[in-house]
Chain A
Amino acid sequence: MDIPAFPYHIFPLGDSALTVDYGNCIDEAINREVIARFIQLRQEPLHGMIEVVPAYSSFTVYYDVFSVKKKAGSDRTAFDWMQEKVKERLAQTPDYEEETERIIHIPVCYEDEFAPDLRYLAAEKNITVDSVIQIHTSKPYKVYMLGFLPGFTYMGEVDDRIKMPRKPQPVSIAAGSVGIAGRQTGIYPLASPGGWQIIGSTPAVLFDVQKELPALLRAGDRVQFYSITSNEFYKIQNSSLPGENLGVEL
């Protein structure tokens, strides 16, 4: 399969990491390239590489300066050496088994007690609460990246009719909260301060420290939300055994 060449540029992120940037944007094709490169580098790590962190339109390679510098010699910085190796790698078409795209169905309760900002958002957007729910559940969202909190997914893009800026000040947000920020939507896996507009909550466990793979979702997944009642919410929450994720369908 031919991967189209995406223009990029590389900049240092401090003295122990470099970022390959495809242009500060939210774009499905670019994000697919980012994830492909992330997988490629993880499968065949570069000398001195510590880890790779993919984001929307960039990925960052962390490296051990001490061991990279040994290879680089005295007339080049570790950054220069690493940059060259990354460029060589980017010149190759990634040779990997494309992971099948997963669609994950996640239950969300949009009732008042779970949705502190839903009525406000509906009023601001001049539509009914039911329309917000209908629009939010109308299509699957792509998981562009994980970041911010363990297991936190940045997904998109929501319809213009329900897009909404972040709050000016972060507030305390419960685990499982489903929010909107601009055209992004996401789920708070853990309780945390946050600024997204909360329109619902899921009983699904997005991050389980007991599991070998603690995050339920990964970059590249697609998430389809579906609406449940508070009765169903509590039923799922109370009858799930540890490690089980009732209501979540692959």
Chain B
Amino acid sequence: MSIKIIKAGILDTIQDKGRYGYQHLGINPTGAMDSYALQVCNILVGNSPGEAVVEMHFPAAVYLFTAPALIALGGADFSASINGDSVPHLQPIMVCKNDVLQFHKPTNGARAYLAVAGGLAIDPWMNSYSTHLKAKAGGYLGRSLQKDDELLLRQLPKFPGKKDEFSVLPWQVDINWFGKDYPKEILALPGHEWERLVEASKENFTITSFVIAKQSDRMGFRLNNRPLYSITDKEVISAAVSFGTIQLLPDGGLIILMADHQTTGGYPRVAHVITAHQSRLAQLKAGDTIQFRLTDQSTAEELLIKQRQHLLQLQNACTFRLEEYFHANRN
């Protein structure tokens, strides 16, 4: 009862919503880059929204199922297939023993998620399943998935699928929630050191399009930009930074801190990407452009609450569908 990795991907890791409560020890939360997609995938298979899943970058691994499983794919669309037949995004799929799942082409987004009903049978570290690559702890042996790794599953599906052919269950998340492409507009709140920027740089921040630079990873996105200027070079004594914090580097460049960001930092925090837009940001990759727009606290909170309400609605709908399907397909 497992998923075997028969070919490694470039960076496939186990992630959940992150490891909170230990940042005072310097232990950064890590967790899924696109926490919204993680929750959607889990909800589709009837898991609790924060269950551990596999986060994939392209090229992703090739997976072999050694037992039937109910799965869902979400986040980025990497054109998945099972045994060579293409399978849909954001729809529950019942796979059979010996089915092979692989990904062919990134058509939209940068990070894809694979959720399995019942979850993965791995041990948590400091109350989370997220892989902490730097500490080499959490997730699967504290590292990215390699060839011949075997992810044990906690349970078999609650209802039988077809005997020897995978089947796609007849409901899907409304794609319109996400839009066809991930939007490039990113709302941000001014940071504590926003006022350090000279007026022209403040303007540039919202007028200019920023290109995500090559040196971008799970820790942070570097932006290619004409330097922004600060009215002071007064040192910022190290203090907390978070997912979405936009720091001004000494050379005038910007970096947006992402899921593997460090807990504290000493660069000026000029702005913060709102939490509700972390998901769309996480789906961008090197070469993509973004456009910042400043917003206020109450708008940021409203959008975040709306996102949570969407997830709750989706959870109710999926729970109902799964139960209905379960009753109809009982032996």
Interface residue stretch chosen among B78-86, B174-182, B234-242: B234-242
Report the bound CA distance from A16 to B308 in whole Å.
14
In this complex, the member of B136, B192, B237, B274 whose beta carbon has the largest number of chain A beta carbons within 10 angstroms is B237
Chain A CB within 8 A of B137 CB? yes
Report the bound CA distance from A129 to B220 in whole Å.
38
CB distance from B251 to the nearest CB of A (A): 10
Chain B CB within 8 A of A202 CB? no
In this complex, the member of A14, A53, A150 whose beta carbon has the largest number of chain B beta carbons within 10 angstroms is A14
Is the pair B135, A66 in contact by a Cβ cutoff of 8 Å? Answer: no
CB distance from A83 to the nearest CB of B (A): 10
Chain A CB within 8 A of B107 CB? no
* Chain B residues within 8 Å of A51, by CB: 20-24
Quick one: given A51-B20, A65-B305, A207-B135, are A147 and B238 in contact (CB under 8 Å)? yes
Is the pair A15, B134 in contact by a Cβ cutoff of 8 Å? Answer: no
* Chain A residues within 8 Å of B137, by CB: 209
Q: Which residues in window 285-311 of B have CB below 8 A to A? A: 297-298, 300-301, 304-305, 308
Is the pair A13, B238 in contact by a Cβ cutoff of 8 Å? Answer: no
By beta carbon, the residue of chain A nearest B136 is: A209
Q: Scoring B residues 9 to 49 as 1 if CB is less than 8 Å from chain A, else 0, what string do you get?
A: 00000000000111111111000000000000000000000
* Chain A residues within 8 Å of B264, by CB: 53, 55, 145, 147-148
* Chain B residues within 8 Å of A24, by CB: 236-237
CB distance from A36 to the nearest CB of B (A): 13
Chain B CB within 8 A of A32 CB? no
Is the pair B24, A53 in contact by a Cβ cutoff of 8 Å? Answer: yes
Is the pair B192, A214 in contact by a Cβ cutoff of 8 Å? Answer: no
* Chain B residues within 8 Å of A224, by CB: none
* Chain B residues within 8 Å of A56, by CB: 237-239
Chain A CB within 8 A of B189 CB? yes
Q: Scoring B residues 105 to 149 as 1 if CB is less than 8 Å from chain A, else 0, what string do you get?
A: 000000000000000000001100000101111000010000000
Chain B CB within 8 A of A154 CB? yes
* Chain B residues within 8 Å of A218, by CB: 25
Is the pair B142, A209 in contact by a Cβ cutoff of 8 Å? Answer: yes
* Chain B residues within 8 Å of A150, by CB: 25-28, 132, 134-135
Chain A CB within 8 A of B68 CB? no
Q: Which residues in window 200-243 of A have CB below 8 A to B? A: 207, 209, 214-215, 218-219
Is the pair B20, A148 in contact by a Cβ cutoff of 8 Å? Answer: no
By beta carbon, the residue of chain B nearest A154 is: B238
Is the pair B20, A147 in contact by a Cβ cutoff of 8 Å? Answer: no
Quick one: given A12-B297, A14-B244, A56-B238, are A209 and B135 in contact (CB under 8 Å)? yes
Is the pair B240, A58 in contact by a Cβ cutoff of 8 Å? Answer: yes
Q: Scoring A residues 119 to 159 as 1 if CB is less than 8 Å from chain B, else 0, what string do you get?
A: 00000000000000000000000000111111110100000
Quick one: given A24-B236, A55-B264, are A15 and B272 in contact (CB under 8 Å)? yes
Chain A CB within 8 A of B225 CB? no
CB distance from B322 to the nearest CB of A (A): 24
Chain A CB within 8 A of B262 CB? yes
Report the bound CA distance from A152 to B22 in whole Å.
13
Please provide the 4 A-B residue pairs with the shortest distance between their CB atoms, ordered closest to farther: A147-B264, A14-B272, A60-B240, A15-B300
Binding site for A on B (CB under 8 A): 20-28, 125-126, 132, 134-137, 142, 189, 191-192, 236-242, 244-245, 262-265, 269, 272-275, 297-298, 300-301, 304-305, 308
Task: Using A51-B21, A149-B134 as known contacts, list a sample of 18 further A-B pairs with CB atoms less than 8 Å apart, ordered by residue number in A.
Answer: A13-B191, A13-B241, A14-B273, A14-B275, A16-B275, A19-B239, A21-B239, A24-B236, A53-B24, A55-B238, A55-B239, A56-B238, A66-B304, A78-B301, A146-B263, A147-B238, A148-B264, A214-B25
